[in-house]
Each structure stands twice: as structure tokens, then as C-alpha cells.
Structure 1
């Protein structure tokens, strides 16, 4: 579920100057789209998208400045609809007195930045899209192994955190332990991070909570990572047939997106850290078009066919 975004969040994020409307900074922004009024300033208000944050740059303010005094006042009063969450002025340009008066009258905060309009638009759009992106939280561990985002899932006590600790000792990086916050980013990619409260922390039964960054350094952690695949750890079941060739492609669905999933049975004597390292390397090779299992099956088929011909 996307989090709530207020005008105050934007002011704090981009260090915007408050021109007026401090009491209205709690206005909630409902959409990530921004709007630069053009037709509205010319007097056409039929399709004015008042739910969007409004941006005024050099072109808009120059047009407003050149309007006759009476027309400027009337136009800006119509422009400042009470449903507008806020108005942002770019390039540190002066704000017309008529705009401030109309904004105060209709309860609209006016903010200003010294950034260029295109630059501010890009940064603000990216920020809002991240805020409004679909999110979910899963129980598991996220680690960066050879550049691949690997989520470890499984029952409580199966050894996810201990395996993550071993991977960190082997030079890989921890992203999240216990709770992984997953966001659907632009391009339909899944990105994982840790809740602020438990960031950089690992819970190891018998030891308690440890701070990975304090013990292993800043190079042992990262704040966010795109998720490549999932490894599900489960207790070894003697009566279950596990994939021995790597041809069975399991999938897991998260936020309506499918990710490859590998089921790894756990039993004494298996070095899970090495298995996960090899799984990450093998997944990368598959992405590059080299599938060892398929090549083996093809070679086996060719061998059988040649023997049948003899």
C-alpha cells in the first residue's frame, strides 16, 4: 500500500521556501502527476486538473506579469482552486502579490525553489512515483550476492539470518533482515529495502541483535536492491523429489510480478552460503543465455541419438 504524502513532506525533502500557507502544509497529495498551467492562465478552465500539484516557471510568470492588472487578479483567483494541494514557483522567481492573495484566500500553500523548472519537475516526479508505487512487506531476508538481489524465505528458525551472516562474512551485502519492504518500481521491477527501525540489524538466535554495519563496515550493507530471485529454504523431506537438474522453473508472485524461485532443502552438513553464491552466479549465467541444465540435456539427447544411429 502506498504511503500518504503531504505538502510538508515535499517541502522537507526539497528544502523549499515557504511563501505563504504554513497552516495548509498538511494537504495530502493524491497523484504523482504535476501540472504547468497554460490554457488556464489564458482563461480556459474547463479541464483544469486541480488535483495535481501546480508548477509555475519563467514562462508562466512572465505571461502573468504581462496581463492587465484587473485581468491578472481575476485570472489568478480562478486559477487558485481550493482543491489544489500546493503551488510551486521555480528558479527563485518573484511571486506576484495577486497570486499570494488568491492562494491565502483559498487555503493553498505556495512554495519556492531555486532549481530550474525541468530539473525540479524530474526530481519531484521521481519522488512522488516512488511514494505512490505499490508496496508490500514479506517475512524474509534480502542480500546482495554478486550483484543479484536474493530474497531468502522459509519458516521461522530455518536459518535465514544465520545464512545471511555467513554471506556477509564472505563479502556480500545485507539489505534487510526479518522484514523486507518491496516496492514495484518503474519498469515493473521489484525493489527491496529494510524498515528504518531494523536497518542494518541481524537477529541471530543465541547472540541476539547485531549491527552489521558496525561490525563489518559500511561495505557490508546497502539500503536498497532490485530483487532478482527468491530462494525458499525448507527442512529436508526424504519422501520429496527435489529438482536435481535445474530444469524445473518455479515462480513466486509478488505485487502481481513473477520472480524465479529456487527451493533449497536444509539439512546438517549443507553449506547454504556456498549454495546461494552458486545459485546467484548460475542465475546470472542464465540471464546471459548460458543454461547448464539445458546444455546437458541437449548433449545427452545428441549422445543417445548418435548411439541409436550406430
Structure 2
């Protein structure tokens, strides 16, 4: 199961640690969702999602403030007995000393943010969904082409890295070469990133390793990119019938999500970079509601209909 250190969450979300006595590095968060513990504070613990990060806003905070010291202590003893990875106070709210002391005894860290509860929880869930999403690694190259994430796959040595380098020279941006880490952040969205060890590097056979960021500048790379289109390169087979219209989309599947896939045959003289650019722009047009293949099909049907009408008119004459 994927996990992330509470220390890393605190650094990313700029959280202040109100319990420095507790080491945040050793605490792992495994769920991308959060919980607001209003009902547990009121004494209802059934279905309590204790393994999630707990977020306290003004409502929960004001409820605790209305309690007597005895009631608050009893409530905290029950609440903090659960394996809570951490409690985050929003709106710069500070827990009282009783809350802090019991949290330290139970080993539950308390953190604080200045941000409003709703905006903070939305941003935290979005970020955790990316970091804790199901992940696989595939062999390929991921490039941002006109804002479309194009994953180029194929057998080793077929020309994926060379195509990516040409795209970079034409102003597009590299995400990763050789190994693509794909994360499923939703039922429709796949996000690709580079492993830290190979980030910004391209391997070119006969030359070696090339640092794209150093050669072409920071504008030639990006950290992450949604995967919108897959281009699978394959050796040209003269006996195979290739799709020349594209009326029906072909798909490939990663982590249960389907992605549009084009099989591109390779032979000497074909400019892979231009093909990738055309495929990306065409895919973008389809998302905007225009399908060139469908337009051609419609024109052909209209032409045939006009021809039939003309023939019928001639027969009547």
C-alpha cells in the first residue's frame, strides 16, 4: 500500500507542528481522504474513520470550547485512543493545553494551518490523491505536445527517444524518458511522472545520456502530465492492413482506465515528430467536437446522395 510521511505533508501544506515532541517522520498516511471528527467528539464512534487525517474547523473547535474541563478530558481520552495519524487545526485555531498534553501522551501529532477549512481540505485531498494513487511503471516516453500528454511506446530501439528529442527541439516538453510512472488519480485521469533518478535525462543510442534541461532550458521539461494519448510505434509490416480513416478509436488500458491509442508503423523517411504533433492536435480537435474522419465520411455520404438524386431526376426525364 502506498504511503506518505506526515512530515512531507506538513512541509508541502506549510503546516505548523504544535507538538514538536512527536516525530512526524515516523508517521505514515495511507489514505487520501480526510475526516472531520464532529460526531466522534459528540460521542458517536461507529464508522469512525480513525486512520484518516482529522481536520478541525471552527465548528468542532467551538464545540470543544463549550465543554467543561472534565467533559473535554473524557472526550479526548476516547478520541485519541484511536490510531489517528494526525489532527490539523484550520483558521489558525490553537488547541488548549489540555488537548495538547493528552495528544502528546497518546502520540497523536497536532498541526495548524492559517487557511480556511474548506479550501484547505480540498487542496489536501487533491494532493494526497496524486501521491497515494495506484501506480505502475511502463517502458516509454511521455511528452507534452500542445498541452496533450502523449505517451510513446514500442520495442526497445525503435526510435521513441529520438522522436521525443525532435519534439523537444520543436518546442514541446519532456516529462520522462525510458520509464514512465503512471498514477490513477481518478476513474478518468492518469498522470505520468519521471522516476527521480532519470528525471530530465534522455538516452540516445550511440551518443549516451543527454540532460534535456541543461541543453534546452527549463521550458523544455515539466514534472507531471496527464496521459491523453498513446502512440505505439511498431515495425512496418507490408502484409498488414493499417487503418487509413480512423473512424473507430482504438484504446489501450492502464490501471483500468482506457486511453486512445494509435499504432504507427515505422519505415525509413517517416517523420515521427510531425506524426506525433498531428496526432496530438487531431486528438485535441476530437475533444473539442470536430472529427476529420467523420467529416470526410459525411461528405462522401452527401456526395453519394446527391448523385443518386441526380440519377433519379434523369430517369424521370
Q: TM-score, normalised by structure 1?
A: 0.91
Number of the residue aligned with 2:2: 3
Tell me the residue number matched to 2:11.
Answer: 12
Paired residues for 1:30-109 under 5 Å: 30-109=30-109
- Gaps in structure 1 of 5+ consecutive residues: none
2:113 alignment partner in structure 1: 113
Q: Equivalents in 2 of 1:276, 1:176: separation in Å?
A: 16
C-alpha distance 45-261 of structure 1, shift in aligned 2 (>3 A) = closer
Corresponding position of 1:259: 259
Count of residues paired in the alignment? 309
TM-superposed CA distance for 1:190, in Å, is 1.5
Q: 8 Å contact 2:2–2:30 — kept in the other structure?
A: no
Distance 1:230 1:24, change over 3 A: closer
Is 1:129 the equivalent of 2:129? yes
Q: 1:258 aligns to what SS in structure 2?
A: strand
Q: Is the 8 A contact 2:22 2:107 kept in 1?
A: no
Taking structure 2 as the reference length, what is the TM-score of the superposition?
A: 0.89
- Conserved 8 A contact 2:5-2:24: no
Three-state SS of the structure 2 residue aligned to 1:39 is helix
Q: Equivalences for 1:1-310 in 2 at 5 Å?
A: 3-20=2-19, 21-23=21-23, 25-186=25-186, 188-308=188-308, 310=311
How has the CA–CA distance of structure 1 residues 60 and 292 changed in structure 2, closer, same or farther, with 3 Å as cutoff?
closer
8 Å CA contact 1:91–1:117 kept in 2: the answer is: yes
CA distance in 1, matches of 2:124, 2:215: 36
Offset at residue 104 of structure 1 (A): 2.3
Distance in 2, matches of 1:211 and 1:25, equals: 33
Give the 3 Å change call, closer, same or farther, for CA 211–88 of structure 1 in structure 2.
same
Distance in 2 (CA, whole Å) between partners of 1:31 and 1:164 is: 36
- Inter-partner Cα distance in structure 2 for 1:141 and 1:56: 43
State the shift of 1:59 in Å: 3.0
Unpaired stretches in structure 2, ≥5 consecutive residues: 312-317
Root mean square deviation of aligned Cα: 2.1
Measure, in 1, the Cα distance between the counterparts of 2:5 and 2:226: 27
User: 2:141–2:152: 8 Å Cα contact kept in structure 1?
Assistant: yes
**In structure 2, C-alpha distance between the alignment counterparts of 1:293 and 1:94, rounded to whole Å:** 61
- 1:31 positional shift: 2.0
Contact kept in structure 2, 1:150 and 1:231, CA below 8 Å: yes
